[in-house]
Structure 1
Amino acid sequence: MGMNTQQQLRYWGIAAVVFLLFMWVMGQAILPFLLGAAIAYFLDPVADWMERHGISRLAATALITAGVVLLFAAILFFAIPLVAGQIRDLASEVPDYISTLQTFLSQRFPGFLEEGSIIRRGLVSMQDTIKNGGVAVAEGILNSSLVLIDIVIILVVAPVVSFYMLLDWDRMTARVDDLIPREHLETVRDLAGKVDKVLSGFVRGQLSVCAVLGIFYAVALALVGLKFGVFVGLFAGLVSFIPFVGSITGGILSIGLAVVQFWNDPIWIAAVAIIFVVGQFFEGNVLTPNMVGGSIGLHPVWLMFALSAFGSLFGFPGLLVAVPTAAVLGVLLRFAIDEYKKGRLYQGTVQRPDAAE
């Protein structure tokens, strides 16, 4: 390995450490800027399409920004109050659900609730805890979370950042391209193109899958009459960003609620289970193949590890950079493996029969 390569690895390593330290020190302060940059990145193809159809970059950016602001406003004023209300109602009714569960267990499995049994003590303790502070805790989470992430600042700063970054996106990428060492220009461009393909293909596609699944689950669960079905359905769609997790988590939560609510009418419990079976089938055979594709290179386990690691280290800002970082590392790892297979360490000094041919 030449000195030039060693120096470049050292510089890139230093840059990675500086980036991680910057994320750790700045924390929530950079959240609006990360959101703005993410919005600009994902909407740049829309702006490019509008430019190709005769609309100026400034006008295209203004129209796109206005549309995003209106969408966020609609979510803020309509969806959030609905979900928040369901969370509060769920917290207030959990003690009743536990009582119903105790009745069900005592009738069907009386041995489980004998005096002094672990299950009985656990249910009573859970019920007392929720009665004493469950609603207050739920309301505190809903209220304090908005304060902690400074939602007002985000709603003001993020659209402004996205507007200016979307307006100057092509100039910024050209400036970065101009700073790439000329010796490795084509390699870096090729890697950047692969990262963009993986990242845009996965995130844009997976967000579309999440939206479709969330709407499907929320509407279907509401139609069968499941209490808090809207909240559970939207939650299941949201966490579907991690493949399989949304359906499994939402299914367990929904079926648990259905057992308590419909324990005398098993047909509705089966209906709730069927909803998630249909959703899982639809996701695996229609949505994901058509919206995400099978060649993006982000394995679900690798994605879950990235989200867990960056979320633990940097909080919510870490979740925003987890997927891009996972995409970059995945592309770089595949590139390193390809280079390794071309080298002497892998091929050795003896020429292989297929190479001679």
Structure 2
Amino acid sequence: MTKMTMSLGELVRRTLVVMLIIGIALTLPLLTPTLLLIFGAILIAVLIRSAAWPFEQLGLGNTASVLLGLATILILLGLFGWLFGAQLSGQFAALQAQLTEAVPQVRAQLERLPFVGSLAGATPDMQEIAGRALNFAFGMLGLVTNLVLVIVGAAYFALDPAVYKRGLAKLFPKDRSDKVIEAMDASGHALKRYLLGQLATMTIVGLMVWIGLAIVGIPSAAALGLTIGVANFIPLVGPFIGAIPGLIIAFSAAPDMFWYAVLVYLVAQQIEGNVLTPMVQNWAVSIPPALLIFALAAAGSLFGFIGVILAAPLTVVIYTLVTMLWSRDALGHEVKVPGRDDAPASAG
């Protein structure tokens, strides 16, 4: 039996590595808000790079293309606010007043029903839940500070993403740096496709609900359409959350109006689930539904309300990195890289 010995230097090195890992594990929960801000900045940077792509194709330099892409996004947002801001502002104010009156009425009607009444009585106040969610989401540094940090960080990420990728790659062995950079490029490409696909889906669903609710006579249809469109950014559960305000208002108005609203939301979500989402997943990246459900649950447990919002894009990034760095490079499997149209890739 061979007796293994360890030099003092090796012992010290391993001890320091273990202490570093423990220190990172203990510090990570304290850095959660900052990590979420960084990932939010990455999302916006991906959108800025996407808007800069047409200008790059025209032969403009990187800096000019990114600045023009950012300007394009700001102009589109300003144009949207100019065209619909006044209408939406009025409708959201009316929607808030209507919900304030409708929630107690709906609760009172539900409490008259057997079994459902006990559930309604045990259900916490929706306004209290929303208030807690917003306080958690926009606490810490404050909403304005967070937005400034995210936007400024996104601009820096978009201007020179390569410098940050090279910096992260240096945390890995030198002979694996190229693979790490390739995986980060692939995850960025998959994230870009996912965000653009989600943006298209959110827009179409919001317009369908807006038009449908306006046809059946539900008040504040534009605000409700925008609400369901934004809520669709959260997969699986977002559409149900986004439909609640419209259903509450319709239920408080008249039973017939409620069923018309249910029909509008149901048709919109069926088109989204059976037509739009498969098309987006085929073009962008397909995440197994069960994996996405547990990712939402895990992100909500770890990061709270903001974690649920960012769970899907974060899953896209992690899924791509694991597919390439672990399944392909470490285990040698032939895998299809998420967000790419080419054939499955094998370890090289």
Correspondent of 2:250 among 258, 264, 282? 258
- What secondary structure is seen at the aligned counterpart in 2 of 1:241? coil
1:185 shift after superposition? 4.5
Distance 1:139 1:243 in 2: 19
**Structure 2: how far apart are the matches of 1:220 and 1:80?**
20
Matched AA of 1:56: G
Distance 2:196 2:22 in 1: 28
Equivalent residue runs for 1:320-339 within 5 Å: 322-331=311-320, 333-334=322-323, 336-337=326-327
TM-score (norm. length: structure 2): 0.67
CA shift digits 1:76-133 (9 cap, x unpaired): 966567435523430233233445667xx6xxxxxx57xxxx666777x689x97xxx
Paired amino acid for 1:224: V
Cα separation, partners in 2 of 1:88 and 1:276, compared to 1, 3 Å: same
- Alignment deviations for residues 142-165 of structure 1 (CA, whole Å, 9 cap, x no partner): 985786262222333332222222
Cα deviation for residue 293 of structure 1 reads 2.0
1:280-295 → structure 2 map (5 Å cutoff)? 280-293=269-282
Higher helix share: 1
Contact 1:222–1:229 at 8 Å: present in 2 too? yes
> Which residue of structure 2 lines up, in the alignment, with residue 49 of structure 1?
54
Residue deviations 1:267-316, cap 9 Å, x none?
A: x4443233223212321343223334277241222223223222322235
User: Relative to structure 1, is the Cα distance of residues 309 and 75 closer, same or farther in structure 2, using a 3 angstrom cutoff?
Assistant: farther
SS in 2 for 1:293: helix
> Deviation of residue 328 (structure 1)?
4.2
Query: d(CA) in 2 for partners of 1:55 and 1:293?
Result: 31
User: Could you report, residue by residue, the CA deviation over 1:222-275 in whole angstroms, capped at 9, with x for unpaired residues?
Assistant: 332224544544333333234443444455664564344222xx3x44432332
Q: For residue 299 of structure 2, what is the aligned residue in structure 1?
A: 310
Structure 1 portions without partners, runs of 5+ = 1-10, 106-111, 343-357
Question: Is 1:86 aligned with 2:95?
Answer: yes
Worse overlay, 79-88 or 139-148:
139-148
1:181-225 Cα deviation digits (max 9, x unpaired): 443345434533443343333233123212321232134223322
Contact 1:306/1:326 (8 A) holds in 2: yes
Question: How far off its partner does 1:39 sit?
Answer: 0.9
Does the 8 A contact of 2:46 with 2:158 survive in 1?
Answer: yes
1:8 maps to none
C-alpha distance in 2, partners of 1:20/1:71? Answer: 42
Alignment of 1:333-348 (within 5 A): 333-334=322-323, 336-337=326-327, 340=331
Determine if the alignment matches structure 1 residue 60 to structure 2 residue 52.
Answer: no
Gaps of 5+ in 2: 1-15, 334-348
Alignment equivalent of 1:271, drawn from 231, 235, 260: 260
Question: For residues 262 and 285 of structure 1, what CA distance do their matches in structure 2 show?
Answer: 30
SS of residue paired to 1:213: helix
Give the count of matched residue pairs.
311
Q: Does 1:223 align with 2:215?
A: yes
Say if 1:27 and 1:315, in contact at 8 Å, map to a contact too: no
Given that residues 214 and 234 in structure 1 are in contact (C-alpha distance below 8 angstroms), is that contact kept between their aligned partners in structure 2? yes
Asked if 1:169 is matched to 2:161, the reply is yes
Relative distance call for 1:40 and 1:19 in structure 2 (3 A) is farther
1:13, 1:71 → 2: CA distance?
Answer: 50
* Equivalent in the alignment of 1:196: 188
CA RMSD of aligned residues (A): 4.4
Report the AA paired with residue 46 of structure 1. A
Q: How much has 1:50 moved relative to structure 2?
A: 1.4
**Which of 201, 222, 230 lines up with 1:209 in the alignment?**
201
By how many angstroms is 1:325 displaced? Answer: 4.2
